Structure 1
Amino acid sequence: MKAVRFIGANQPLQMQEIPIPEIGERDILVRVKAAGICHSDAHYRAGISPVKPIPLTLGHEVAGVVEKVGTQVTNLKIGERVCLHYNISCGDCYHCSTGNDQFCEKVLMLGHYTNGGYAEYISVPARNAIRLPDEIPFEQGATLMCASATAFHALRKSRLKAGETVAIFGAGGLGQSAIQLAKAFGAVEVYAVDINDDKLNLAAQHGAIPVNGSKVHAVEEIKRLTHGKGVDVAIEMIGLPLTMKQALQCAGVMARVVIVGLSNKPLEIQTYTELLGNEVELIGSNDHLLQELPLLVDLARRNILNTSQIVTRTVPLDADAINTTLDSLEKFSGDVRTVIVPASD
């Protein structure tokens, strides 16, 4: 089968011909119908977050059709539509047993530590498959598994309550989901901060108040819009020290600031004025949980979470097209979400 693979840090991904993966008795083989290209994949290619083993097929946002099932799989059938939870956990360790499977002692993330979805087929444990309703296209189902799921988990970590205000830094795939989910959680106002007018226009369509950080000082504008109070929740989804700092600075009294974006650079904090003085909480949000995904998919099925405009571009399973997309992501430009759609037989 064809697969687009990571061959080393700071090197273009490469198309390779590799065997169709074998499956174990509790696994399924999925024919990939869609695989999202995430900003994390650009971090992997750039060596910011190490990938192993090498070479490795990238891609952790995956949706497709069950092609084959293991002998002990009873909950799925050949031909079913599925989207895939990207953390393969053991199910037995302390973290798995307490419902925090993203911290599994043996976790393998698709497209990071085991082969992912930039390919024609992928093999995963059956428990990692979430049924994808007919109402949700494969392209949108794929992005639910990271962009939307990560946003959902971050909002749960923020403990957002009905009637509170929220600032979302970054209006890409994660941000667009976060805006809609924050509204569903009961936020009275959501401020979307970005420098891309197209993304901000889409954020406005989802009910957010756009703040263009290239035209106004984001913190001052949010403070103005909130009459000096700041927001109750700020979520940073870009991964830049500047926007992390801004998220802290726009936080109001007893606010929660959730950092989602990946960065290998330190964040400097004015301990009293930005943290202790207003009892602001700084919270890290890492991935999401398997248990969160069925509800998330149902929110999308009910159109409470509308992902129809999050996927703004599709490309074939082609190394050049994928590398070009990753180049744009490294520059924080490009589409809201680009999804790979392998050619059908």
Structure 2
Amino acid sequence: MKALRLVATRQPLELHDIPVPEIGDGDVLVRVRAAGICHSDVHYRAGASPAHPLPLTLGHEVAGEVEAVGKNVSLVRVGDRVCLHYLLCCGDCYYCSTGNEQFCAQGSMIGHYSNGGYAEYIAVPERNAVILPPEIPFEQGAVMMCSSATSFHALRKARLKAGERVAVFGAGGLGMSAIQLAFAFGALDVYAVDINPAKLALAAQYGATPVNARDGDPVTAIRQHTNGRGVDVALELIGLQQTMQQAVQSLGIMGRAVVAGIADKPLVIDTYRELLGKEAEVIGTNDHLLQELPLLIELVRRGKLKLSQVVARTVPLEASPVNAVLDALEQFGGDVRTVIVP
């Protein structure tokens, strides 16, 4: 089968011909119909968050059709449409048993520590294959598995309540889902912060108030929009020291800043003015949970979360176009979300 593989860090992905993966008794073989290109893949390619062992097939946003099942598989059948939870875990340890599988000591992640979905086929344990309703296209099912799911988990970590105000720093794939999900959770106002006018225009279509950071300090703009109050929740989805600081500075009294972006520089906080004096919180968010996916999928199925414009374009399973997308993302450019369609 064809697979796009990372052979060495800081090098372009290469298209290889490798064997179709074998499956165990509890596994399923999935024919990949869509694989999202995520900004995390840029970090893996650059070595900022090293992928191993190399060579490795990237891709952790995956949807497709079940091609074959192991003899002990009972929940999915050949032909089922599925999207894949990217965290591989033992299912038995303390963290798995409490629904926090991202901390499983034996855990792994497809496309980061095991072969992912930039390929024609992928094998995963049965528990990782989540049924995808026929109303949801494969392309949307793929991006749900990271960008939407990560935003969903971040908002849950933020303890967002109805009537609160939210700032979303980064109007990319995660940000577009975060905006819509914040409103679904009951947010009164959502402010979308970015420097890309096209992305801000799309955010406005979803009901957000656009804040163009090229036009001035976004923290000042947010305080003007909120009559000096600040926001209750700020999500940082970019991974820059500056935007992490701005997320914290945009908070009002007892506000919560949730950091999801991966940065290579530390977050610097004025502990009294920005944290203690307001009883504000800075919260880290890590991946998402299998238990969250059924509700997320249902929100998409019911049209509460619309992803048709989030999936900006598709590219084939070829090295040149995929590397070009990764190059653009590395410069914080590119479309909202690009999806590989093998």
TM range (shorter): over 0.9
Match of 1:66 in 2: 66
How far residue 9 of structure 1 moved from its aligned partner, in angstroms, is: 1.0
How far residue 217 of structure 1 moved from its aligned partner, in angstroms, is: 1.2
Q: For residue 339 of structure 1, what is the amino acid of its counterpart?
A: V
How far residue 8 of structure 1 moved from its aligned partner, in angstroms, is: 1.2
Indicate the SS of the match to 1:332: coil
Match of 1:220 in 2: 220
Indicate the SS of the match to 2:214: coil
TM-score by length of 1: 0.99
TM-score by length of 2: 0.99
Indicate the SS of the match to 1:258: strand
How far residue 14 of structure 1 moved from its aligned partner, in angstroms, is: 0.6
Determine the C-alpha separation between the residues in 1 that align with 2:113 and 2:336: 26
Match of 1:145 in 2: 145
Q: For residue 206 of structure 1, what is the amino acid of its counterpart?
A: Y
Q: Structure 1 segments of 4 or more deviating over 6 A?
A: none
Match of 1:323 in 2: 323
Match of 2:85 in 1: 85
Question: Could you tell me the percent identity over the aligned residues?
Answer: 66
How far residue 254 of structure 1 moved from its aligned partner, in angstroms, is: 0.2
Unaligned runs of 5+ in 2: none
Match of 1:113 in 2: 113
Determine the C-alpha separation between the residues in 2 that align with 1:216 and 1:339: 33
Unaligned runs of 5+ in 1: none
Match of 1:35 in 2: 35
Report 1:163-202 matches (<5 A).
163-202=163-202
Determine the C-alpha separation between the residues in 2 that align with 1:163 and 1:283: 21
Match of 2:135 in 1: 135
Match of 2:253 in 1: 253
Count of equivalent residues: 342
Indicate the SS of the match to 2:67: strand
Determine the C-alpha separation between the residues in 2 that align with 1:304 and 1:180: 7
Match of 1:338 in 2: 338
Indicate the SS of the match to 1:312: strand
Determine the C-alpha separation between the residues in 2 that align with 1:75 and 1:235: 35
Report 1:164-313 matches (<5 A).
164-313=164-313
How far residue 265 of structure 1 moved from its aligned partner, in angstroms, is: 1.2
Q: For residue 264 of structure 2, what is the amino acid of its counterpart?
A: N
Quote the RMSD (CA, aligned, Å): 0.5
Q: For residue 34 of structure 2, what is the amino acid of its counterpart?
A: A
Determine the C-alpha separation between the residues in 1 that align with 2:31 and 2:146: 19
Q: Deviation string for 1:22-59 (max 9, x for gaps)? A: 00000000000000000000011011001111000000
